[in-house]
Structure 1
Amino acid sequence: SKLKSSYQTSIILFYYHDLSIQDISDVMEKPVGTVKTYLRRAKKQLKIELERSYKLNERIS
């Protein structure tokens, strides 16, 4: 929920619906390069959020 909606959409379509980057591009009406950028940035942001959450949970335990 902390990701931009365009990042969320691209991640959901790619990983949960198994769409190709070209198909995601068609659905979102964005160029292929833009979809690749969305996916790359979304994964980077998710990694940061997961690491932050993990560190927070370590402090609580």
Structure 2
Amino acid sequence: MVISDVQTWVSTALTDDDTCMDGFGRARTVVKDLVRQHVVKVARLTSNALALINMYASTHKN
């Protein structure tokens, strides 16, 4: 059950990256572009973490 919770949390974090950018609306600003670059980096790291967690979970099933 713990692995399932971790998978859910990491998946939710990955989903929340788009929600973070929604707060900027349609405005094209330097700050928005800078934040977007950081969000993309975090999304990549989160995606990699989720892949590792899923791989671990698949090898440690009961």
TM-score between both structures, scaled by the size of structure 1: 0.54
Q: Where has structure 1 moved over 3 Å in runs of 4 or more?
A: 25-30
* Residues 1:43 and 1:53: Cα distance change in structure 2 (over 3 Å): same
- Tell me the percent identity: 4
- Say yes or no: does 1:2 pair with 2:3: no
TM-score between both structures, scaled by the size of structure 2: 0.53
Cα RMSD between the aligned structures? 3.0
- Say yes or no: does 1:54 pair with 2:55: yes
Unaligned runs of 5+ in 2: 1-10
Aligned residue pairs: how many? 45
Displacement of 1:60: 2.0
